[in-house]
Amino acid sequence: MATTKIIKVKVNPKATIQYITNPEKTDGKMLVSYEGCTEENAAVMFDLALRGKRKQRKDSVLAYHFIQSFSPDDDLTPEKAHEIGEQFMEQLFHGKYSFVCATHEDKKHLHNHFVICAAERGMTGRKLNDDLALLHKIQRVNDKLCRENGLSVITQKRGRGKKHNEWQMEQEAPGSSQKSKLQKMINEAIEKASDFDDFIRLMKEQSVEISYGNSKKYGTVTKYKLPDGNRCHRGYKLGRDYTDSAIKKRIEMRLRSEETRAYRQERKTIAKAAMTASEKAQDKASLKIKHIVETSPDEAYGLTKWKHTQNARLSQSIEQKILEKYGLQYTEIAGKISSLKAENNLLSSKLDKQRKSCNNLRSLIDACKVYTSTKRYKEHFAKAKNPKLYATEHTDQLSAYDTALTTLELNKVPADLVNFDYIGELQKFLQTYQAEATKIEQQIVENDQMLKEFVKVQHELNAYHNISDEI
């Protein structure tokens, strides 16, 4: 399985990039790849994308550092892990953000590192926000890739992904660690406690030593030490469900749930006692019908015929709605399902090509921007009295210039043609391509919705028609 973690980078993305691309951790950089940048100009490209944004806030996020960790029990090679990482980024952002992807194999579990520029490539420069929608998308895409590659998937009740240490702790045999023992004892105390003070009392009764400490994030925190333990464990270190606030909430929710169950049981008892004579007669009638079906075939036939009549009426009603909404008869639904599936396959292929065109165009726009912003460094280098010293002081800029020039040459774009007007034209083309891709995506979604509706209707109508055929 893969778990994810997000870290905000507010200072010097270059240092983070250097860390994740460490040759000792990435098989001599064989497990490193780039999108929208290169090894030489990654930091410069990030800086260009963020230019004009950084002035808004001093502590603004410059990049995001994602960590995708895999279980050591999963049958996974470093190369495959890296491939999954690249697919993860593509399905998350579709080439809209520059990033560096690196797979580390220096620990027992393989893990991918991603440094993603916080500003979108191309014309918009929109910031990437670490919000709940992004977290849900990360979890959804991550789980999808795990299933496709035969990896186990974590079932979660909340939007946040599990940290690797949380998952690792869950994999340990029950009672094999002090942490798991404490978790079990805390869970049992929560099921009995009337409030947090009562919870503390119950833990002390189990000979658990209670003390308190301070945390910048959590304030005053409770620490637990087992009778045979060698150290204290802070609640939040046991997992997100074991902080003081989480324990209080769990106790409150348990008490509320118990009150609700008691209330419902009371209402059920009252309702049963107040059942009217007609309701009791109806209940008896239902039992009688069941008895007839089981004991009297002749009488049961009449009931069965009535059921078929009702099914036929329901079938006609559904068919009429489909005819009014889509102009389709029952016999045409199967053909419509097949045509929608074929259309979505073609649209998916077209969408992939459109996204590839957008990515290529973004790369060209990036190269043009880098070329225009670094051209002066090349000119100054040519005129410098001490070229070696100048090259040492402006290594990143000169390297970025060379990479941008190479990209222009590969795309057969004359360097003297590149200016702000030319970049503006490219951005208009990109906008058109993006709009077309959005239309295709919307059409695929609409087709999927229609498919779900037709498949459901077909299933229902098939059931009704089969019953009618049996009569």
Q: Give the chain as a 3 state SS string.
A: CEEEEEEEECCCHHHHHHHHCCCCCCCCCCCEEEECCCCCCHHHHHHHHHCCCCCCCCCCCCEEEEEEEECCCCCCCHHHHHHHHHHHHHHHHCCCCCEEEEEECCCCCCEEEEEEECECCCCCCCECCCCHHHHHHHHHHHHHHHHHCCCCCCCCCCCCCCCHHHHHHHHCCCCCCHHHHHHHHHHHHHCCCCCHHHHHHHHHHCCCEEEEEEECCCEEEEEEECCCCCCCEEHHHHCHHHCHHHHHHHHHHHHHHHHHHHHHHHHHHHHHHCCCHHHHHHHHHHHHHHHHHHHCHHHHHHHHHHHHHHHHHHHHHHHHHHHHHHCCCHHHHHHHHHHHHHHHHHHHHHHHHHHHHHHHHHHHHHHHHHHHHHHHHHHHHHHCCCHHHHHHHCHHHHHHHHHHHHHHHHCCCCHHHCCHHHHHHHHHHHHHHHHHHHHHHHHHHHHHHHHHHHHHHHHHHHHHHHHHHHC
Distance from CA of residue 5 to its chain's centroid?
11
The tens digit of pLDDT for each residue in 328-350 reads: 676 777 788 888 889 988 998 88
Cα(65)–Cα(115) distance, integer angstroms: 5
For residue 54, the model assigns a pLDDT of 46
Closest C-alpha to 417, from 432, 405, 402 = 405
Q: Does pTM surpass 0.85?
A: no
Supply the CATH classification number for the domain 2-162: 3.30.930.30
The tens digit of pLDDT for each residue in 266-301 reads: 767 766 666 555 455 555 555 555 555 555 555 444
The pLDDT of residue 467 is above 50? no
The pLDDT of residue 468 is above 50? no
Q: Out of 13-17, 25-29, 47-51, 408-412, pick the least confident.
A: 47-51
Share of the chain above pLDDT 90, in %: 7
The tens digit of pLDDT for each residue in 131-153 reads: 777 888 888 888 888 888 888 77
| Higher-confidence position of 261 and 357 | 357
Q: What average pLDDT does this structure show over 424-433? A: 88
Q: What average pLDDT does this structure show over 115-125? A: 77
The tens digit of pLDDT for each residue in 169-181 reads: 555 544 457 888 8
The tens digit of pLDDT for each residue in 198-213 reads: 999 999 988 888 988 8
The pLDDT of residue 116 is above 70? yes
For residue 177, the model assigns a pLDDT of 73
What's the mean per-residue pLDDT of the chain?
78
User: Where does the pLDDT of residue 100 fall: very low under 50, low under 70, confident under 90, or very high at 90 and above?
Assistant: very high
For residue 39, the model assigns a pLDDT of 76
> Strand 111-117 to strand 99-104: parallel, antiparallel, or no bridges (unpaired)?
antiparallel
Q: Which two tokens stand for residue 109?
A: 């579990």
For residue 265, the model assigns a pLDDT of 77
For residue 157, the model assigns a pLDDT of 46
Cα(76)–Cα(300) distance, integer angstroms: 60
Q: What residues have CB less than 8 Å from 471, skipping those under 6 apart?
A: 305, 308
For residue 104, the model assigns a pLDDT of 92
The tens digit of pLDDT for each residue in 221-262 reads: 888 988 887 788 888 888 888 888 889 988 888 888 887 777
